[in-house]
Every structure is written in structure tokens, then in C-alpha cells.
Amino acid sequence: GRPERAIALFEQVDRSKLEPDTAAELLLVTASAYGDLGQPAAGVALIRRHARWPTELSDHHLRLGYAEAALAEQAGDLPRARAAFTRVLRADPDFHDAAERLERLSSD
């Protein structure tokens, strides 16, 4: 409920000392905060700057990829949204509603 606080916290925390799941959650919350502030492209940029995509994606990678796709869609960057949803679906074809969202974006 306080997006500005989430962004400030992200800038203050040394994420290298956090567990990967915790660091990903902080990144996810902060990127979503930008979306809440009407700046979804800034959220996408934050994820792209800080997220790493190993060959085998863990749950936190899937959540970040999904958030990147949703924020890109919100920002009107449909090619990036499709690419991020596709990345998620390659790792987990049943992840949330990613398949339906990708299908909808592909028909637009």
C-alpha cells in the first residue's frame, strides 16, 4: 500500500546478502510498486536490470518473469510481454494464467 516506501527500501538494501527468494521478492514488490505508481515501464526496466535468467528457472524466476510480462503489457510493450510470458511458459506451461494471457496477446 506504500509503493514509494518499497522503492526506497529496494535502493537501501544490499541484495547480495539476501537469499535468492528474498531478493527476488524484494525486486518483485518494487517493480510492482512502479506499476502501482503508473510507471510500469520503470518496473520492467528494474526487472531487466536486476533479474538473471538461468537455464533452469526456479519459482522466484517464474514470478519475476510473470511480473515483467504483466508490467510490459500494462506499459503497452506487447512484444516484451509476449517474450516474458513465453519464457515463463517454457519453464512451466501451467504457471498461473500465463498461457491465456499470451494467447490473448498473440491475437492482438
Q: What is the pLDDT of residue 1?
A: 79
| Structural Rg of the chain based on CA atoms | 13
C-alpha count within 13 angstroms, C-beta hemisphere, residue 46: 25
Which tens digits make up the pLDDT trace of 19-66?
999 999 999 999 999 999 999 999 999 999 999 999 999 999 999 999
Residues 30, 93: Cα–Cα separation, whole Å: 26
Q: How far is CA 30 from CA 14, 38, 46, 68, in A?
A: 14, 13, 8, 12
Output the average pLDDT for the chain: 96
Nearest to 84 by CA among 9, 96, 12: 96
pLDDT at site 105: 96
